[in-house]
Chains A and B, each alone.
Chain A
Amino acid sequence: MVGNHAVSWGASLSRAEVISAYPITPQTQVVEQLSEMCADGRLNARFIKVESEHSAMAACIGASAAGARAFTATSSQGLALMHELLHWASLGRLPIVMADINRALAPGWNIWTDQNDTLAQRDTGWIQLYCETNQEVLDTTIQAFKLAEAVDLPVMLVLDAFYLSHTAEPVDIPDPEMVDVYLPRREPRYRLDVNEPRAFGALVRPDSYMEMRWHQQSAMDRARAEFEHIDREWENLFCRRYGAVESYRTEGADLLLVTSGTITSTARFVIDRRRARGEAVGLVKMKMFRPFPADTLRTLLSGVERVAVLDRNLSPGRSGIFAEEIRAALYDVDPEERPALYGYVVGLGGRDVTPGTIDDIIDRTRGAAAPTREDVWVGLNL
């Protein structure tokens, strides 16, 4: 099953009631398959085929506010077009789930993967979960609804263009009845209801606005523990779990890689090969980016000599975005325990990140006396 179909199966098993989407490469198979599922009755949902991503998110907002389980999927330019409404969904405390197929931004036109589309939406108040495999994509889509509805915040699940979206992998489709047990019908605390009329989203003055934002922040804080809980519940039913942060062969390691998305799978291969040669290297995979799992990272990375962060993204004028956030998280670690952090920018616009690339990064990290002030770009041909 390709990653895009894992998304649509996930949305279908979650019994999404309103789907609204606009096609964009590489997301199209998601909406094509969901259209078919709605058309042939396999999924009892209304599919609103809107005229833009902006309207797709607006329709999800309306549907979610009226109490429905709402879903959409997009990518890159489409996500950027939604920006205003991503804030609206989160501050409106609407548990919408969206899949974003990570794709680089134009110009020049580029349909291949990098993470700048989703990371540019970092501050919109969406939970962000990055996936490594198509099984994880399917499972995370269902988990996302449970998490969203538990904390009244929207969730974005993220998968790499083509490396997941268009690549077939064996995927176990969970039993629908068990999924219904895991994820019952949505029970909104408030909704647009003619029997209980309320106004939503009215003018909020300075004497109340900050409190509203505080509630959003505390919901984000709750989402860390809530994800842990729903992930364990998933494991109890389906014998798989992923964790907000996964540590892989970190025991005794003096050098750890930090990765997200499909680079993680390649990194596992490199770590295995080096471990076989007796080298003490390991890997930390970040699935959850918002809320930021700072405490977990501090625990996992403290006391390690060197940490290399691989960023398939860039904040121009600064650095890779994961590296920057991890640096900030490590600031209050005891300096004796604080690792040297090496940032690497790789794989932008879909450039392949091979085992060779990762070997190169490990060798550079070992060979450097200290981290450079700027992140190192790997694989650059100037």
Chain B
Amino acid sequence: MSQLMIADRVPREELMTSGHVACPGCAAPIAMRMVLKALGPKTIVVMPASCWSIIAGPWPQSSLKVPLYHAAFETGAATASGVRAALDMQGDTETTVLVWAGDGGTFDIGLQALSGAAERNENILYCCYDNEAYMNTGIQRSSATPWGAATSTTPAVQPQSTHKKDILAILAAHRIPYAATATVAHPVDLLEKVTKARAIRGTRFLHILAPCPPGWKFEDDETIELARMAVRAGVFPLVEVEHGEHWRFTAEGAREPVGPYLRKQGRFRHLGEEQVRQIQAEVDRRWNAMRRRVESSESDEDGSLAEGG
């Protein structure tokens, strides 16, 4: 029943072709396919260097049926600002300019350009598909890599020693009109967020968790399951925030322990029980901080309702 309902709500039009060159089980093409379905054909994609630079296909091919500009690694938001300005000058306010960047191009090298664009409130939709490391170059750590993860530059004997950067809070601090998280395991939630974002003017940011079988080291038929577990464990809460202050959970439910999520992934295989407890403590800390943001937004809204009433 629920399957039928989901299929019903997913637009039929395919703006991504089959025959792309992603690894088996990769979440990134699933995310692109869903986002483009929600955006429709009046979309121009700006794509800084990422796994998707390859997935999109080598010249003269393209796995997208919308215009695509491959951009330098750190320039996604700036290049998109230019595309937007040109469209505005042509009187085209309808076409969505979509930046499609990985975590490296967003959390690290592209953060300055993204912050600049967000501060200017450029009328663009910025999607970060986050596979939590530099996967295209062979699984080197990024500032999106979670604490304790082994990568090719943070080997298991000395794994990632810092916690994942809170990119959503950083974007929210720019007070952009819309920012949200999403995953490929929650297609209706994802579609609703993209549809909502599409209708808003200004900078919109979508952070999509994209489990990576070779990078996280899990079986390639477990991608959706991993994304679902990340949400259920509270590692990756599904939220949205408007104008940097109105926070809302978009999926709630019983919190599950983080252990089973970690144990499913080879990148955490070296962790002992004590380290799993540390991760649980950090997940709890972040979850509680998020809950306080949401509750504070709710009480603000109640307050303003009371004042208005």
Contacts and interface: CB of A to CB of B under 8 A. Distances in A.
A199 B87 contact: no
Interface residues of B, number: 46
A54 to B, nearest CB: 7
B79 interface: yes
A48 B124 CA distance: 14
Contact of A66 (B44, B75, B115): B44
Contacts of B71: 58, 61-62, 88, 201
Interface string A64-86: 11111010000000000000110
Nearest to A212: B59
Of B66, B71, B112, B119, most A-chain CB atoms within 10 Å:
B71
Contact of B80 (A45, A62, A68, A205): A62
Contact of B69 (A196, A201, A205): A201
Contacts of A199: 56-57, 59, 61-62, 64, 67-70
Nearest to A204: B59
A302 interface: no
Given A50-B78, A85-B72, A68 B58 contact: no
Interface stretch (B88-96, B169-177, B219-227): B88-96
A72 B135 CA distance: 35
Given A88-B72, A202-B70, A50 B81 contact: yes
Given A48-B120, A67-B90, A68-B85, A55 B67 contact: no
B53 interface: yes
Nearest to B42: A194
Nearest to B46: A62
Contacts of B80: 62
Interface in B33-69: 41-44, 46, 53-54, 56-62, 64-69
B74 interface: yes
Interface string B200-221: 0000000000000000000000
B138 interface: no
B41 A62 contact: no
Given A51-B113, A58-B113, A192 B78 contact: no
B290 interface: no
Nearest to B94: A194
A50 B85 CA distance: 13
Contacts, number: 165
A204 B85 contact: no
Nearest to A196: B67
Contact of A59 (B59, B82, B112, B115): B82
B70 A201 contact: yes
A59 B88 CA distance: 14
B112 A66 contact: no
Of B54, B81, B86, B112, most A-chain CB atoms within 10 Å:
B86
Given A54-B78, A192-B83, A201-B70, A45 B89 contact: yes
A253 to B, nearest CB: 48
B116 interface: yes
Contacts of B75: 54-55, 58, 61, 85
Contacts of A56: 78
Contact of B95 (A17, A20, A68, A194): A194
Contacts of A373: none
Interface in B108-132: 112-113, 115-116, 119-120
A60 B78 CA distance: 9
A50 B112 CA distance: 10
Contacts of A48: 81-82, 85, 120
A16 to B, nearest CB: 10
A257 B119 CA distance: 51
A62 B115 contact: no
A208 interface: yes
A64 B82 contact: yes
A62 B69 CA distance: 8
A63 interface: yes
Of B58, B79, B82, B87, most A-chain CB atoms within 10 Å:
B82
A278 interface: no
Given A84-B72, A199-B62, A51 B116 contact: yes
Contacts of A194: 41-44, 66-67, 95
Contact of A203 (B53, B78, B119): B53
A87 B55 CA distance: 24
A41 interface: no
Of B67, B72, B116, B120, most A-chain CB atoms within 10 Å:
B67
A295 interface: no
A275 interface: no
B155 to A, nearest CB: 30
Nearest to B21: A203
Nearest to A66: B86
A123 interface: no
Nearest to B82: A62
A112 B61 CA distance: 48
B81 A204 contact: no
B67 A198 contact: yes
A70 B79 CA distance: 12
B83 A63 contact: yes
B82 A70 contact: yes
11 contacts: A48-B82, A55-B81, A55-B116, A59-B81, A60-B82, A61-B75, A61-B82, A62-B69, A65-B79, A198-B68, A199-B56
Given A85-B75, A197-B66, A199-B61, 5 more contacts: A20-B85, A64-B86, A65-B83, A194-B41, A199-B57
The 9 A-B pairs at the shortest CB distance, nearest first, are namely A62-B82, A51-B116, A66-B86, A201-B70, A55-B78, A59-B82, A68-B86, A58-B78, A58-B75
